[in-house]
């Protein structure tokens, strides 16, 4: 078994077919099939189930894919460390952030890393918290921010901030009377709401708060794409409930928004920084974790990121 075979195998799994993988790898399909056959012969177990719709991993194949992803990431990091100049810190660091967190901290963090550590290649992965947690468990990320302190029980985490949730709608919206700065939960529940689907942790948090009061909501659309959700709200199709970060663009408040707090309830979402276990955390990833927390601290203390309480 060699690293080339592992890379080929991972690409086959992620492409879902040998034909797609061969195009991604720029390798003829027969040659790719040969490499796969050699790998299966060495393992001594079938790794894929082939069908007219493509390929899926067997139980052994899934286990190999999980560990191969981690091994290949470690290899890439080792090569990057070996190639860097003496006395410098470099390598690739993968950081998972939810879409709203990207809006608030993304540009500032990338700029900070580029200016202070040009040898570090920061790979920012945007996704829903459940998907990011899965990627962390599979060893595909070095760091991520999640919204629960027990999202991944076997990885270290620390609280960094607590975000307040607000009702958001355009400044020219007629859904809420002018001059109001806060709404009751009942008033918010009566609005036509555009929210994420129930697989999204934020939606479950919102639903639980309304259920505590016995309130039913008027959900007119369910959208998991932050950019589309914001566009629909901006077009007057309804209001939404989001942290303040959803109204930020490249770290600055987008114009044309009304941000209304709750008068009779507290809706908050804690944020935790997760990292791989210490023995697997590279020097570059350790630095990025420190810089991420410091970037968040500076954004909050400067007032650039409002509606947030520091927890560290």
Query: Are 56 and 202 members of one domain?
Result: no
Nearest to 81, CA basis, from 234, 305, 253, 285: 285
Residue 273: strand pairing partners:
145, 158
Q: Which domain holds residue 287?
A: 89-161+270-310
**Does the pLDDT of residue 80 top 70, yes or no?**
no
Distance CA 272, CA 275 (A): 10
Same domain, 167 and 245: yes
What SS3 state is found at 155?
Answer: coil
SS3 content of the chain, % helix, strand, coil (to 5): 45, 25, 30
Q: Which of 72, 107, 129 is the last residue of a domain?
A: 72
Query: How do beta strands 157-170 and 268-275 pair?
Result: antiparallel
pLDDT in tens, 102-158: 999 999 999 999 999 998 999 999 999 988 998 898 888 999 999 999 999 899 999
Question: Residue 248 falls within a domain, yes or no?
Answer: yes
Same domain, 243 and 277: no
Handedness of CA 238, 240, 244, 248 (dihedral sign): negative
Per-residue confidence (pLDDT) for residue 149, from 0 to 100:
92
Q: Are residues 246 and 214 in the same domain?
A: yes
Can you tell me the distance from the alpha carbon of 117 to that of 101, in angstroms, rounded to the nearest whole number? 22
The answer to whether position 27 is within a domain reads: yes
CATH number reported for the structural domain that contains residue 119 in this entry: 3.40.190.10
Is 80 among the domain residues? no
Q: Compare 165 and 84 and report the one with higher pLDDT.
A: 165
Are 60 and 139 part of one and the same domain?
A: no
168 and 224 both lie in a single domain: yes
Burial class of 4 by CB neighbour count within 10 A (0 to 12, 13 to 18, 19+): exposed
Full-model pTM: 0.76
Confidence (pLDDT) at 77 = 66
pLDDT range class, residue 86, cuts 50, 70, 90: low
Give dist(CA 146, CA 66) in Å, integer. Answer: 21
**Percent of the chain residues past pLDDT 70, beyond the cut:** 96
Grouping H, G, I as helix, E, B as strand and the rest as coil, residue 31 is: helix
Specify whether 260 is located in the same domain as 217: yes
- 228 shares a domain with 96: no
Cα distances (Å, whole numbers) of residue 223 to 200, 206, 232, 298, 304 = 10, 15, 9, 31, 27
Assign residue 56 a region: left if phi > 0, alpha if psi is -120 to 50, beta otherwise? beta
132 and 7 in a common domain: no
Is 260 among the domain residues? Answer: yes
Average pLDDT over residues 257-286: 93
- Give the CA-trace dihedral at 200, 228, 94, 96, to 10 degrees: -20
The answer to whether position 84 is within a domain reads: no
265 and 145, same structural domain?
Answer: no
Q: Would 301 be classed as within a structural domain?
A: yes
Which CATH number do you get for residue 43?
Answer: 1.10.10.10
Total domains in the fold of the chain: 3
Assign residue 232 the CATH number of its domain.
3.40.190.290
Q: Is the pLDDT of residue 85 over 70?
A: no
Query: Cα separation of 86 and 173, whole Å?
Result: 58
- Verify that 284 and 143 share a domain, yes or no: yes
Task: Kindly report the average pLDDT of the chain as a whole number.
Answer: 91
């Amino acid at each position: 078994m060699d690293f080339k075979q592992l890379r080929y195998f991972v690409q086959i799994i992620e492409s879902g077919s040998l034909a797609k993988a061969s195009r991604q790898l720029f390798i003829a399909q027969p040659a790719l099939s040969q490499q796969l056959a050699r790998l299966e012969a060495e393992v001594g177990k079938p790794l894929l189930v082939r069908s007219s719709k493509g390929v899926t991993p067997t139980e052994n194949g899934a286990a190999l894919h999980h560990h191969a992803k981690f091994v290949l990431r470690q290899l890439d990091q080792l090569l990057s460390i070996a190639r860097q100049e003496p006395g410098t810190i470099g390598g690739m660091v993968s950081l998972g952030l939810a879409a709203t967190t990207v809006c608030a901290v993304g540009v500032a963090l990338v700029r900070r890393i580029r200016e202070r550590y040009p040898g570090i290649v920061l790979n920012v992965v945007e996704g829903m918290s459940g998907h990011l947690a899965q990627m962390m468990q599979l060893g595909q990320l070095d760091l991520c921010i999640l919204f629960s302190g027990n999202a991944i029980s076997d990885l270290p985490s620390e609280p960094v901030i607590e975000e307040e949730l607000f009702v958001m709608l355009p400044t020219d919206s007629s859904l809420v009377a002018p001059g109001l700065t806060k709404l009751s939960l009942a008033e918010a529940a009566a609005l036509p709401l555009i929210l994420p689907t129930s697989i999204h942790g934020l939606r479950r948090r919102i639903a639980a708060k309304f259920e505590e009061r016995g309130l039913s909501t008027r959900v007119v659309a369910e959208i998991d794409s932050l950019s589309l959700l914001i566009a629909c709200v901006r077009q007057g199709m309804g209001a939404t409930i989001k942290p303040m970060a959803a109204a930020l663009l490249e770290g600055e408040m987008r114009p044309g928004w009304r941000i209304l707090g709750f008068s009779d309830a507290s809706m908050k979402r804690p944020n935790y920084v997760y990292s791989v276990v210490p023995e697997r955390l590279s020097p570059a990833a350790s630095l990025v974790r420190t810089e991420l927390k410091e970037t968040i601290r500076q954004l909050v203390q400067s007032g650039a990121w409002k509606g947030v309480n520091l927890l560290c």
